[in-house]
Structure 1
Amino acid sequence: MNILLLSVDQWRADCFGFLGHPAVRTPNLDRLAAESVVFRRHFTVAAPCGPARTSLLSGLYPFNHRSITNGTPFDARFPTLPGGLKLAGYDPLLFGYTDTSVDPRTLEPDDPRLLTYEGVMEGFRQIVDVNGDNLGAWLDVLEAKGYDRPERDGDIYLHAERPAQAQGFWDGPARYKAEDSDMAFLTDCVLDRLTQETGDPWFYHLVYLRPHPPLIAPEPYNRIIPRDRVEAPLPMGDGEAHPFLKVWAEQHQKGGYFDPEIDFSALSTSDGTAMRAVYYGLMAEMDFQIGRLLKALESTGQLDNTLLVFTCDHGEMAGDHGLWGKGGWYDGAYRIPLMIRDPKRRKTVGRQVQALTESVDVAATVMDWLGKKAPQSWDGVSLLPWLDGDTPPVWRDHVFWEFDFRDIESGTYEAALGLTPDQCTLNVWRSDNVKYVHFTGLPPLLFDLANDPGERHNLAGDPAWLGKRLEMAEGLLAHRMRHAERTLTNHKLTAKGVLTYEGPRRLG
């Protein structure tokens, strides 16, 4: 059977029509959710894009794979999902990107792949890319259609025409029509490939850049979301006084990331509303392209012969706590969508799972679905029992994620906070009701999610909460110890030969 691992970029977990969002329009993804098992409390274990995708495709926590920033090399020794698929007889095709920073020890010093973090994970055969510095194929098509090619490739994301009097964020249209967008181009490439399939099982990893910034959308999506439907962001709280967050917020107020033509630090409340509206508009555009894909799979008779996994790399703060982007510790940046449509398991369609799940579970699930063993080193757990309608007797009661904010190129955080690169890390240990944030070189944070779901009040220094803080810190430590890299740990050479333990990491 076929496998489609469909990933979007920077999509919050709450942004779907079927979840009752007041503004977002996602009819095609709503339909997919109704035909899938939906994991409602699913979290990425890393941000930004490179580390998140490395964990998704390697099944490893970032404290094991250590590709912890965009640009940190991924150790070539680790087994990955595309590698496992090749061993299972698939030719893993990539439409889009993985942002895998190649292991420099495997290349000659002058290899051009060492000049970018936007590499391709070993094991994939990349068909086309639309991301960052890799816009050439899309721009070639635009130029053939009569568009003016920008002097710099990235300028294709500027507005078609920004009025001189426009102040702050402006929601004018992009330079290209919706039918010619980056999303449409990538979808066209996949549809073309689908018509060439001969009947052999295939694996596609389809990765869309959107709704990742810049927050500039083609007509009608730039203004398709009424601003009066856009909900107010979560207000700031005392957590924003943390020294890390002050520096992080300053780094995300440099404009170009969200809109190259504005002073991000001078945005008004109405600017923030307009930015959210365009962010949701990009989601509507993305939903339309996913609808095209679902229709093509259905019309070619392949939809019910394809395992379809929909997820993303990480979320987006979207103005909550006065923040934009991804990183830090808030749920908005780490809680992400996961839907799995399994044609083998139709009795559980529409099930919404409330258990805590993590992005490292996806690779293990795909391998289990194929009847293959996941590598010993992987940290994720197969989700197939949930697809079967079961509730596993032992399941995690916490989720983990890591954010590494070192920058050995600029030294921004190191200089501002008086830290070494190896001190620029935070770990999050989150249960149903409590979140603990541990920094390597800065004060911790603690939030009572039951009574403070917006994470506005830091209780780490409250004497009444010191017992819970200790309990969470001990839980985080035990989790890291339990999941220490174990490629050969559970092997033993004996007079009887090599013995191997392949059971669970914990009981109860």
Structure 2
Amino acid sequence: MSRIYAQMPKKKCHESTEKPNILLVISDQLNWDYISAMGNSYVKTPNIDRLCRTGVRFDRAYAINPVSIPSRVSMFTAARPSKFGVFVPDEIEAEHTNIVPYVREKKIAFHLQQQGYKTYYGGKTHFRFSPKDMGFEIYAGSEEYRGVDCVPKAIAKLKKHAADHSDQPFFMVASLMNPHDICYAHIKDNRFDMEQILERTDGEGWKAKLRVSVLENLKIPEGEPGAGEYKPIDYYLRQAPPLPDNYMPQENEPSIISGIGEEKGMASAFGRYRGQYDETDWLLHRYAYCRFVEDFDRELGLLLDGLEASGMAENTFIIFTSDHGESLGSHQMAGKGFFFDEVCHVPFIISHHSIDGGRVDSVNLICNGLDLIPSVFELAGAGADPTWEGKSIIPLLHDANHKLDRDIIPVEFVSGMGIITHNFYYGIYTSGKANNEQLYDIRKRPLQMENDALDPAYSKVLDDHRHHFKTAHRETLVRYGHPEVFMRYLNDKQ
């Protein structure tokens, strides 16, 4: 950070007549607590740490749906993905809104342009429409989501903006890929499976760059035995985070996950690895994930340095989040899409020189899908859309005592819906023959290892959360036609 920037007097954003710039950085598949500033000693994330030092870290932020496409749909529509029929459970037939005409009508970027903003989008899209549909100028295409492509183009666009449009603020999105490359770090027989890695990364363009990312990040570094190669595994095992405390499968797990009594279970599907990985394999998986996190952090650092070099950092709000997390061996699974904390819980940081940096908000429940655009609009001085369900979290930036009027976060997932409250997860699975209703007391450690819906001591909590579920998902249940897969748990509790 430049000394000039560090010594600037702090002024709340609403006290300035100058509209702030807004830089939104989105990672892919980043766990909320894989940040060294949070005390995680297995990753080095000096650039995410920079944002933590100069901003507010929201430790109770969650994705509306822990999969890339629906999560990103929500981020750029401020609506639930189910509204558009995106990742609605197979058992549900529901009317939905056509997404492309919707975003062309709402034109998120256009509303910011009316406030004088230049609007730029670069990198991963994955939301079934184009940034152009929202009114953005695209500086890096949908396959230019790696640091080698997106970040230099973002820096060039920042430099050009400073030169050509210094009298206008900007809203820039930089949507980067890692640590998603963990999905290609295949492991077999206690070794990285180079044959499968090379097979799945074979190709030109983005696949060639994917191969470079995977091979370089997995390579044993210089100064270590086996430097430049992928064995011996002793190096990896010394550096790997230990197995998580909820490594074992959950007791009374939904049968659609376990596969017990089903034709198949999600836990052993491709990319999940339960029953295929042993403890050593999971340690290798966790080591690899840390390296992809650090790869993303390096890209972020280059972008932050480019913003500083442009001379526009002083008046730029930086919003950082991820679309979802990664199971990372919890319950002996990898990937995303489940109603588990490892994949629903996401990082969310807002940084600006006017903020008393280094503060952590561990109280307010944040939905990064529903709350992102309302927050951006408030920063830009654009009017809120009355149809938005989400809330602006900007009032939280300068008042540590401010509380959002919210006690429930809605969550949709590939096989059901749920809610997150301050102390509990409650969800209903639409698929599977057993254990479809789940309640988790998230104050427990290890986390989500038993279904508290079956414990009589939680009967009052269960009844309350059934009611909260009906309230939080009222409109969705109407759109779904109040299907029996949900109502069998809800009908008796009005």
Per the shorter chain, which TM-score range?
Answer: 0.7 to 0.9
Aligned residue for 2:121?
94
Aligned residue for 1:399?
409
Gaps of 5+ in 1: 103-117, 139-181, 405-424, 487-508
Task: Note the C-alpha offset of 1:120.
Answer: 6.5
Say which SS state the counterpart of residue 435 (structure 1) adopts.
strand
1:3–1:308: 8 Å Cα contact kept in structure 2? yes
Task: Note the C-alpha offset of 1:457.
Answer: 0.6
Match of 2:156 among 168, 178, 192: 192
Task: Note the C-alpha offset of 1:84.
Answer: 2.8
Q: 1:306 to 1:218 in 2, by over 3 A?
A: farther
Say which SS state the counterpart of residue 473 (structure 2) adopts.
helix
Q: 1:464 to 1:120 in 2, by over 3 A?
A: farther
Q: 1:302 to 1:327 in 2, by over 3 A?
A: same
Aligned residue for 2:50?
31
Q: What amino acid does structure 2 have at the position aligned with 1:369? A: L
Q: Deviations over 1:331-379 (max 9, x none)?
A: 1001001111124x23x22111112111111111111111222101111
Equivalent residues in 2 for 1:352-363, closer than 5 Å:
352-354=360-362, 355-359=364-368, 360-363=370-373
2:289 corresponds to 1:299: no
2:372 corresponds to 1:373: no
Match of 1:335 among 327, 345, 351: 345
Q: What amino acid does structure 2 have at the position aligned with 1:342? A: H
Equivalent residues in 2 for 1:139-178, closer than 5 Å:
none
Distance (whole Å) between structure 2 residues aligned to residue 429 and residue 202 of structure 1 = 35
2:471 corresponds to 1:478: yes
Q: 1:80 to 1:436 in 2, by over 3 A?
A: farther
Q: Deviations over 1:171-210 (max 9, x none)?
A: xxxxxxxxxxx32222112122222222132221110011
Distance (whole Å) between structure 1 residues aligned to residue 294 and residue 476 of structure 2 = 39
1:254–1:265: 8 Å Cα contact kept in structure 2? no
Say which SS state the counterpart of residue 369 (structure 1) adopts.
helix
1:43–1:334: 8 Å Cα contact kept in structure 2? yes
Q: Percent identity?
A: 23
Equivalent residues in 2 for 1:307-318, closer than 5 Å:
307-318=317-328
Aligned residue for 1:147?
none
Point out the structure with the larger helix share.
2
Q: How many residues align?
A: 396
2:243 corresponds to 1:232: yes
2:377–2:383: 8 Å Cα contact kept in structure 1? yes
Q: What amino acid does structure 2 have at the position aligned with 1:188? A: P
Aligned residue for 2:192?
none
Q: 1:201 to 1:221 in 2, by over 3 A?
A: farther
Distance (whole Å) between structure 1 residues aligned to residue 242 and residue 133 of structure 2 = 38
Say which SS state the counterpart of residue 317 (structure 2) adopts.
strand
Match of 1:22 among 41, 52, 70: 41
What is the TM-score of this pair, normalised by structure 1?
0.71
Aligned residue for 1:171?
none
Say which SS state the counterpart of residue 241 (structure 1) adopts.
coil
2:252–2:450: 8 Å Cα contact kept in structure 1? no
Say which SS state the counterpart of residue 26 (structure 2) adopts.
strand
Where do 4+ consecutive residues of structure 1 move more than 6 Å? Answer: 482-486
Q: 1:484 to 1:206 in 2, by over 3 A?
A: farther
Match of 1:243 among 244, 247, 255: 255
Aligned residue for 1:59?
78
Match of 2:178 among 181, 190, 210: 210
What is the TM-score of this pair, normalised by structure 2?
0.73
More divergent stretch after superposition (332-341 vs 296-305) = 296-305
Distance (whole Å) between structure 2 residues aligned to residue 222 and residue 88 of structure 1 = 48
Task: Note the C-alpha offset of 1:13.
Answer: 0.1
Q: 1:123 to 1:239 in 2, by over 3 A?
A: farther
Task: Note the C-alpha offset of 1:49.
Answer: 0.8
Distance (whole Å) between structure 1 residues aligned to residue 151 and residue 284 of structure 2 = 27
Aligned residue for 2:357?
349
Say which SS state the counterpart of residue 111 (structure 2) adopts.
helix
Q: Which structure has the higher relative contact order (CA within 8 Å, separation 6+)?
A: 2
More divergent stretch after superposition (214-223 vs 431-440) = 214-223
Task: Note the C-alpha offset of 1:83.
Answer: 4.1
Distance (whole Å) between structure 2 residues aligned to residue 328 and residue 220 of structure 1 = 27
2:339–2:418: 8 Å Cα contact kept in structure 1? yes
Q: 1:264 to 1:129 in 2, by over 3 A?
A: farther
Say which SS state the counterpart of residue 447 (structure 1) adopts.
strand
Task: Note the C-alpha offset of 1:93.
Answer: 1.6
Say which SS state the counterpart of residue 454 (structure 2) adopts.
coil
CA RMSD of aligned residues (A): 3.0
